[in-house]
Structure 1
Amino acid sequence: MSDPITHIESKAQHDELVAKNPGKAMVVDFHAAWCGPCHMIAPKYEALANECPEIIFTKVDVDAVPEISQHYGIRAMPTFKVVKDGEELDTLQGANPERLVNMIQKYKA
């Protein structure tokens, strides 16, 4: 089975993913390798990605691709953003599994 999460490695890749999926919600998980709470919530994020194939799930390592985190004004990790057609629809800062589930449920088809 292929990975349900797209690991974004450049701003161009991010922008292309948004452009090629008009009208489709995309969740961006801004994380860092050194972030303990990021590792704690990662299994829940992956489970949600498997449960919601109608939503695009992505991950951005803030240290590897700083231009994306700067674009979205990310100040803490983890931060989750829901984006559709390039517009930010929702934000969750922190590793709160219940709030993450509630946020993503709003965008299921």
Structure 2
Amino acid sequence: MAASAAEHILMVCWALNDPENEDQMRELGEAIEGQREIPGVLTIESGPRTKQVDWEGPDDAFDYAMVLTFDNFDSVRAYPPHPIHQKLVATILRLGSDIRGFWIDR
């Protein structure tokens, strides 16, 4: 199934204890990239909050975000308990806090 055919999207953001720590950012990036190994994950986009936004409105309470697309609803349901995902959650909670997720269905 092509990425453009994705019907389910997860957006997640979180705060980091030390967003300037390069070793921690590398560890976080590796944990995020590991999500590609989970069956049903089609695409992943992630990165730190941009510092270039200079207008009111964007929430600055979060330092990092990730957007994933999934091929079907069975993959969506299987994602949260998957061990690779649980490793990412543990990494985020060790390096930060306040994980917020939001699901979108097309």
TM-score range normalised by the length of the shorter chain? 0.3 to 0.5
The higher relative CO (CA closer than 8 Å, separation ≥ 6) is in 2
Structure with greater strand percent: 2
Q: Could you state the TM-score of these two structures normalised by the residue count of structure 1? A: 0.35
Q: Could you state the TM-score of these two structures normalised by the residue count of structure 2? A: 0.35
